[in-house]
Amino acid sequence: RMRKRSMELWPEWIKDLSNYDPKLRIHKPLIKLARSETEKEFFEKLLERKKNDDLYSIPQEDVKEMFPNLSVKNYGALISPFDGRIDPIRLQNCLRKALINDKVKLIAQQIIDINRNKSDNAYKWSVVQADGEIIDADIIIICAALDTNNLLNKIGHSLNIEPILGQALTIKVDSMMLNNWPGVLSVNNFNLIKYRKNELIIGATLETGFTASRIEFESMKRLNGIAPEWIQKGEITSQWSGIRAKPIGKPAPILEQLEKGLIVASGHYRNGILLAPSTAEWIQETLKK
């Protein structure tokens, strides 16, 4: 439900936020190639079950025509015309400008502690910044990924969250190889995204813990063994890694009001941008209660 609601809200967000940057948009569509006959059958069952306009199948002959240079074993594909990607840096810049425009005070300080105030205090909570300044508040909303527990543990709460590291890279390729590229092409569990005219982003790995594996990185560039030569030989222009916060034993994200005025909206795992609008809506509704 959250995903569906976010997809309804994103066009509204884009319309408002593009006032700060006209180039902000959703790059569509998302195409996912089937990896095997088994996955092809799974796609067919999924389409039969959903019976709506959000997903379509792409026959094998059309996949070959769309991606003649990909040269992976072809079992057909799914296309989601409304899914895609948003440039995360461009999005964050627009959100920051929108907050400033709405007179929201932005504080560039790490929060290192949360305390319950004494009953005679006008505010229930206080947060301590790294520079020592203390801010009193009636409501605290924690969106701190893995650092969530560092704050909650000090006031007697804890959430089951684990770190999942992801590596990604950018390679330079012949621009002809990226003609008619979709917003996102998903191949063998990796996303391939056209970046500029002749660069391709490939990501991301799924690695438990905080330490990046060189083996996983090399496997990613080979798309787990099925990458065409032009991808394998592409010049790596950048590489990076990041940590996602994944809830243990329950779906992402964690949306909970632990106490009156203490709200957690965290642990989005790999869907932080996708679920941002519906998360914001959930927080808004929670604050009204």
Question: Are 88 and 193 in contact, with CB atoms under 8 Å apart?
Answer: no
Q: What is the pLDDT of residue 271?
A: 94
pLDDT at 168: 98
The rounded distance, in Å, linking the Cα atoms of 283 and 260 is 13
> Which residue bears the tokens 């300044």?
133
Non-local CB neighbours of 6 within 8 Å, separated by 6+ positions: 274, 275, 276, 277, 278
pLDDT for residue 3: 87
190-243 pLDDT tens trace: 999 999 899 999 999 999 999 999 999 999 999 999 999 999 999 999 999 999
- Interatomic CA distance for residues 200 and 63, integer angstroms: 19
The alpha carbons of the chain give a radius of gyration, in whole angstroms, of: 22
Instruction: Extract the tokens encoding 50.
Output: 């959903």
Which CA distances in Å does 262 have to 125, 207, 253? 9, 31, 16
pLDDT along the chain (289 residues), means of 10: 90 96 96 94 89 85 91 91 93 97 95 93 95 96 95 94 98 92 95 94 96 97 93 96 96 96 96 96 94
CA dist 193 and 118 (Å) reads: 52
Q: What is the structure's pLDDT at 181? A: 94
